Structure 1
Amino acid sequence: MLLVEKSDGVAVVTLNRPEAMNAMSKALRAALAEAFVALEKDPEVRVAILTGAGDRAFTAGLDLKELGSDPGGLGAANATEAVANPVKAIEGFSKPVIGAINGVAITGGFEVALACDVLIASTRARFADTHARVGITPGWGLSQKLSRAIGIYRAKELSLSGNFLDAETACAWGLVNRVVPPEELMPAALKLAADMATIPPEMAAFYKRMINDGFGLPFGQAMALEHERSSRWNAGITPEIVETNRQAVLARGRTQ
């Protein structure tokens, strides 16, 4: 139910329950958490791509059929442990995560998409927050993250209607980075992942954490956080390192 393929510093993690729209069953959530822990420890992996099998769904979120037969299952919507909460599993990963959104990302699946660092969407991708229609409230971050991504008025339109958001509109609203034809989705994600994989892992992890931590603060505090962490990091950089890196940047620029 979960596929992991690794090559050239990039791990492709595929939710593989296409017959169930890649719904996040208890077993799949546990497998995803285990996979991200293993990839975190793997020094060869520098970037992860998360996608869904098939062309119908990225993931439909929690497996409602499973929850319907488990009296205690709804607690998964508010789980704080990574083994039960896929958002925590992704957010605990220090390396960049690219979400390759191949189909619908619904409710909890929308929350899983929002946990990624970058989103590339197929033209078949659609997003919907149906929490209110199902009669539950989000517990994996959607009510707060979505408004910060697309603005509070657009977020309320989606969450209080349950309507679908198509890929092109999602891009125009700033929810996804770009939209590509279905056959170009994985090539585009792999190309971006390859670019990210050339960044030293310590630098990538430090910078990702600085962006994420600052984003949750008022602007003045975020600027102070940047100053503190930047000063600490840059104190260990020598002129020789700067010159070596400068030459590498120039060489890369000549080939692009």
Structure 2
Amino acid sequence: MADAAPDAALILTEIDPAGFAVVTLNRPQAMNALSRGLMSELADTIDALSANDAVRVIILTGAGRAFSAGLDLKEIGAGEGSLGSGKAAGDPVAAIDRCPKPVIGAINGAAVTGGFELALCCDVLLASSAARFADTHARVGVSPGWGLSQRLSRAIGPYRAREVSFTGNWVSAEQAAAWGFVNRVVAPEALLDSAKALARDMLGTLPEMLLRYKAVINDGYRLPFGEGMVLEKTRAREFNSKVTADGVEQRREAVRARNRSA
């Protein structure tokens, strides 16, 4: 699984003046397999964008015909990499997990095993009709360590998740949308434009609220339902005590104007 060129950038980053960034996995000839170098650069890129005030939304996609084929097993077999130490440093999934900003996964093609896990850690998933997903951990003899055994069952239910993981069979983009772990499916040529349009919609919200809403959804989802409700109420009391009626009314009028023009 050689890269296209020794000096080719493993990660491409484009920051749009509107306030979003497009991050592209760039090992197309290796189906964007997650080499040690790509994982480290992706983690560093996500951390840098998390700290960049000019970026409020991140889009993650892949170059070529695959989103990611998962860990680079050829590199590992050659003794140049490992299956991971579990440490957060150089871990792109951990970097996305700690990113306070929305991350949109624009899944352009195959997302396999580790690539599937990378997709599932995004906040919203848009998929090209050419995208498909597979969990081959049980077939290749590697235990999931980036959350596939936990995220997928929470997204689609344990029965469907068991079928996916116990067989290693492909799940099409359309099936993924029907099961609920992909938000919607678009034509391949419309994928990035759709992701950018969604990012712009997110950028139309209040900056502080976008961060707070992601935090309360994600933090609450990790808790039992009752504890999540308490978390929401506690954070709402803290925040809403500082909100003024005049400020809410001004923003409500802006929402009404947007709805009238839609």
Q: The TM-score by the shorter chain falls in which range? A: over 0.9
The aligned residue for residue 141 of structure 2 is 135
CA change 1:29–1:72 in 2 (3 A) is closer
Do 1:95 and 1:201's aligned partners in 2 also have CA atoms closer than 8 Å?
A: no
Matched, 1:80 2:87: yes
- SS of 1:160's equivalent in the other structure is helix
Give the fraction of aligned pairs with identical amino acids, expressed as a percent.
Answer: 59
Structure 2 unaligned segments of length 5 or more: list them. Answer: 1-9
The aligned residue for residue 24 of structure 2 is 14
Give the alignment's Cα RMSD to 1 decimal: 1.1
Structure 1 unaligned segments of length 5 or more: list them. Answer: none
Give the TM-score of the pair, scaled to structure 2: 0.93
Cα-to-partner distance string for 1:6-30 (whole Å, 9 max, x where unaligned): 1110100000000000011111111
- SS of 2:234's equivalent in the other structure is helix
- SS of 2:167's equivalent in the other structure is coil
What is the aligned counterpart of 2:38 among 28, 31, 53?
Answer: 28
Q: Match of 2:49, as an amino acid?
A: L
The aligned residue for residue 70 of structure 1 is 79
Do 1:127 and 1:164's aligned partners in 2 also have CA atoms closer than 8 Å?
A: yes
Do 2:127 and 2:182's aligned partners in 1 also have CA atoms closer than 8 Å?
A: yes
Cα-to-partner distance string for 1:145-196 (whole Å, 9 max, x where unaligned): 1000011011000101000000001000001000011011111111000100
Matched, 1:234 2:240: yes
CA-CA distance at 1:240 after TM superposition = 2.0
1:55-66 equivalences in 2 (<5 Å) = 56-66=65-75
Q: Runs of 4+ in structure 1 displaced over 4 angstroms?
A: none
Quick one: distance in 2 between partners of 1:251 and 1:131?
50
CA-CA distance at 1:108 after TM superposition = 0.4
Q: Match of 2:121, as an amino acid?
A: A
Matched, 1:193 2:202: no
The aligned residue for residue 2 of structure 1 is 11
Q: Match of 1:4, as an amino acid?
A: T
Give the TM-score of the pair, scaled to structure 1: 0.96
Cα-to-partner distance string for 1:37-90 (whole Å, 9 max, x where unaligned): 211121111100000001x2101111111111227612x1x523141x211111
